[in-house]
């Protein structure tokens, strides 16, 4: 890992919010803002997760790390920073689990590129999420899942979205798809992405495809 990522991880674990914030701002200044956040926060939290799994860290440390990142994101990339009237609409949500940082970054990336984001929240049941997406007639539904059990329930969501050209296209992302690169196809998704930048590129591609004669 890069030196700054290691420093960020250490600052998260010692709950040094001031240092976390300044490292994040530094990273945001060097790259396009959200990409800077992704490059620092993603690997640091993934490493904290691995260390928790290996028994080196307590769950409370994971919790506090996540909490600090949540507060920093709320502060540095507010949810409604760029409301765009008339842009293509995209639904986003977290299926079943409570890991919401990825969804937040994906939503901010989409908003910053002119999409109207309908944020359905987290901890959603498959049928409920499908109902919301169909009611709003979003052409694309982006779903974040961080736990394998939640990822496997994407099949139910995909089924409930229905068939035909009008059904929302299902785009997925999150840790289980990094661990198993074929999982997105197994659950019936239309596309998978690893970052907020991917989310934007996929949305543009799917919308172009749907307009093609």
Greatest pairwise CA separation for the chain in angstroms: 56
Please measure the distance between the N-terminal and C-terminal CA atoms of the chain and give it in whole angstroms.
46
Specify the stretch interacting with ligand B12 by CB under 6 A; choose among 5-13, 17-25, 59-67, 161-169.
59-67
Question: 26 or 198: whose CB is closer to ligand B12?
Answer: 198
Residue 146 in contact with ligand B12, rule: CB under 6 A: yes
Specify the stretch interacting with ligand B12 by CB under 6 A; choose among 13-21, 101-109, 112-120, 124-132.
101-109
Least separation in angstroms between CB 166 and ligand B12: 20
Burial degree of 45 (CB within 10 A; 0-12, 13-18, 19+): buried
Residue 49 in contact with ligand B12, rule: CB under 6 A: yes
| Dist CA 94 CA 104 (whole Å) | 10
Among the listed residues 171, 183, 187, 206, the single contact to ligand B12 using CB under 6 A: 171
| DSSP designation for 43 | H
82: number of Cβ within 10 Å: 14
Residue 16 in contact with ligand B12, rule: CB under 6 A: no
Sites for ligand B12 among residues 181-210 (CB under 6 A): 193-196, 198-199
| Dist CA 28 CA 86 (whole Å) | 28
- DSSP-assigned beta bridge partners for residue 173: 144
Residue 100 in contact with ligand B12, rule: CB under 6 A: yes
Residue 168 in contact with ligand B12, rule: CB under 6 A: no
Among the listed residues 5, 8, 36, 38, the single contact to ligand B12 using CB under 6 A: 38
| DSSP designation for 145 | -
- Alpha helices, H only, 77-195: 101-112, 126-136, 148-152, 154-160, 175-179, 183-186
User: Which DSSP helix (H) or strand (E) runs through 170?
Assistant: strand 169-173
Strand order in the sheet with 89-94: 116-119, 89-94, 140-144, 169-173, 191-192
Residue 36 in contact with ligand B12, rule: CB under 6 A: no
Residue 23 in contact with ligand B12, rule: CB under 6 A: no
Residue 35 in contact with ligand B12, rule: CB under 6 A: no
Question: 7 or 44: whose CB is closer to ligand B12?
Answer: 44
Residue 166 in contact with ligand B12, rule: CB under 6 A: no
Q: Which residues bind ligand B12 (CB under 6 A)?
A: 38, 41-42, 45-46, 48-50, 53, 59, 62-63, 66, 70, 97-103, 105-106, 142, 144, 146-148, 171-175, 193-196, 198-199
């Amino acid at each position: 890992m890069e030196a700054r990522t290691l420093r960020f991880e250490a600052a998260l674990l010692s709950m040094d919010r001031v240092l976390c914030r300044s490292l994040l701002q530094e990273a945001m200044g060097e790259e396009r803002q959200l990409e800077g956040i992704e490059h620092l926060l993603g690997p640091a939290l993934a490493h904290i997760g691995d260390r928790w799994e290996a028994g080196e860290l307590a769950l409370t440390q994971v919790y506090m790390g996540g909490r600090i990142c949540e507060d920093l994101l709320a502060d540095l990339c507010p949810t409604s920073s760029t409301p765009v009237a008339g842009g293509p609409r995209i639904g986003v949500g977290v299926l079943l689990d409570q890991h919401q940082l990825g969804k937040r970054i994906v939503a901010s990336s989409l908003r910053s590129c002119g999409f109207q984001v309908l944020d359905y929240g987290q901890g959603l049941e498959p049928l409920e999420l499908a109902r919301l997406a169909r009611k709003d007639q979003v052409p694309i539904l982006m779903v974040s899942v961080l736990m394998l059990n939640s990822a496997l329930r994407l099949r139910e969501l995909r089924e409930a979205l229905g068939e035909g050209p009008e059904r929302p296209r299902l785009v997925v992302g999150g840790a289980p798809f990094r661990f198993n690169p074929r999982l997105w196809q197994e659950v019936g998704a239309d596309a998978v992405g690893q970052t907020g930048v991917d989310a934007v590129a996929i949305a543009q591609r799917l919308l172009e495809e749907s307009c093609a004669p």
